[in-house]
Structure 1
Amino acid sequence: MRRFTERSLVVATHNAGKLDEFRALLAPFGVTVTGNADHGLPEPEETETTFVGNARIKARAAVAATGLPALADDSGLEVFDLDGRPGVHTADWAETGAGRDFDIAMKRVHDELEASAAPAPHRARFCCTLVLAWPDGHEEIFEGHAGGEVIWPMRGARGHGYDPIFVPEGHEVTFAQMDAETKNAMSHRARAVEKLRGCFG
């Protein structure tokens, strides 16, 4: 694993919450973290069929535009009885003409499982892939997963995305019923980030 010795890093996102999360994570290492908006970067089109492929597109685009090392992530929910869908299309399933509506996306998961006639439990996992890219072309990839099952009806009002239908392994409540500290300790992003820290610590 290559050590990260540079002083600046672009996190290839326009998501302010995600940017703040990485700033806090990397603060102990003295790394200055900026985001796409700080450099006037657009969101590149995600045309790959895998999480690593789409994360790589975002990281490479930021490196090419800024000349700085960049970190990008791609994440989503894979439902095994749906052949891994929604997968890389996790956010797309929530798209409407008026923005994203994850209630619609979760209802689609339920409806497609009903149509499949697959018996419960419906095994699933959240996936997060991080790609850390340098201007010389070197890349490090870090993956994290959180296994569990999807349930219906939705339960809980915390979290975001598909959290109200996802019960992690070893628990009886959904991510949306947990406090943030409990969820974040076992989330797919937390597990990927823990591996990423090895480049800095």
Structure 2
Amino acid sequence: MGNASWLKQGTLVLASNNKGKISEFEKMFAELKLPVNVIPQGQLNIPDAIEDGLSFIENAIIKARHAAKISGKPAIADDSGLCVPVLGGAPGIYSARYAGDHGNDAANNEKLLHDLKPFRNADQAIEGMFVCVLALVTHAEDPLPQIFQGFWHGEILEAARGEHGFGYDPLFWLPELQISSAEMSKQEKNKISHRGQAMQRFRESLI
């Protein structure tokens, strides 16, 4: 059972400056109809936190605390990425900067395809998993951050497909739907994605 007393504060800071994530979250928060204003941290001139954790959970908490400390308000942060078991879980927490340049989707996708070449086998798909961890802190030193996780299983394509989404979406294949994540509408994606699942758990905590 989640403690939603932070709702009384009227504002929740979204600790992200990633346009793709903010766009997805704004849609999902609108559907939640929360009695709070959700403000992306950029509107409050809050810079990105230094993500020096070694896990999605650590980095989500670091980002949430950073936004809460500067804003003085409750904050929610997302840390997410793609984990590929044959690569030992890479790109993992380094998903956005896998090729070295933060947020360069084309370079990151290219590096992933290159790194997977030795593992390609005509008979076997390469499994991948999108992970999303949401961390909610009521204040910067909150000793009990609330954590909501979502996992989205699929396969890694040999070539990009689709025009929607961002990040590794064009390479993420959903065998049961026979489409890539980048071939889905935002609405379809939000229903089943890692971020959609984590948001669903967040929603359940408020009931």
Opposite residue 118 of structure 2, the aligned amino acid is A
- Could you tell me how far 1:67 is from its partner in structure 2? 2.0
State the percentage of identical aligned residues: 32
Change in Cα spacing, 1:68 to 1:146, as seen in structure 2 (3 Å) is same
Distance 1:181 1:77 in 2: 20
Q: Is the 8 A contact 1:147 1:169 kept in 2?
A: no
Two-structure CA RMSD over aligned residues (Å): 2.1
- Of 112-121 and 143-152, deviating more is 112-121
Look up the match of 2:135: 131
Q: Aligned with 1:75: secondary structure?
A: strand
Distance across 2 between alignment mates of 1:106 and 1:80? 16
Q: What's the TM-score once normalised by structure 1's chain length?
A: 0.88
Q: Which runs of 5+ in 1 are unaligned?
A: none
- Picking from 195, 198, 201, the partner of 2:204 is 198
Q: May I ask how many residue pairs the two structures share in their alignment?
A: 199
1:102: which partner in 2? 105
TM-score (norm 2): 0.86
Q: Which amino acid aligns with 1:2?
A: N
Residues 120-159 of structure 1: pairs in structure 2 closer than 5 A: 120-135=124-139, 137=142, 138-159=144-165
Q: Is residue 170 from structure 1 mapped to residue 173 from structure 2 by the alignment?
A: no
Give the equivalent residue in structure 2 for 1:179.
185
Matching residue's letter, 1:3 = A
Going from structure 1 to structure 2, the CA distance change for 1:20 and 1:172 (only over 3 Å counts) comes to closer
Shift of 1:75: 0.5
The superposition leaves residues 145-181 of structure 1 with CA deviations (integer Å, 9 ceiling, x where unpaired) of 1101101122222221111111125222211122332
Q: Given the superposition, is the C-alpha separation of residues 54 and 143 from structure 1 closer, same or farther in structure 2, using an over 3 Å criterion?
A: same
Q: 1:21 to 1:109 in 2, by over 3 A?
A: closer
Secondary structure of 1:14's match?
A: coil
| Residue type of the alignment partner of 1:104 | A
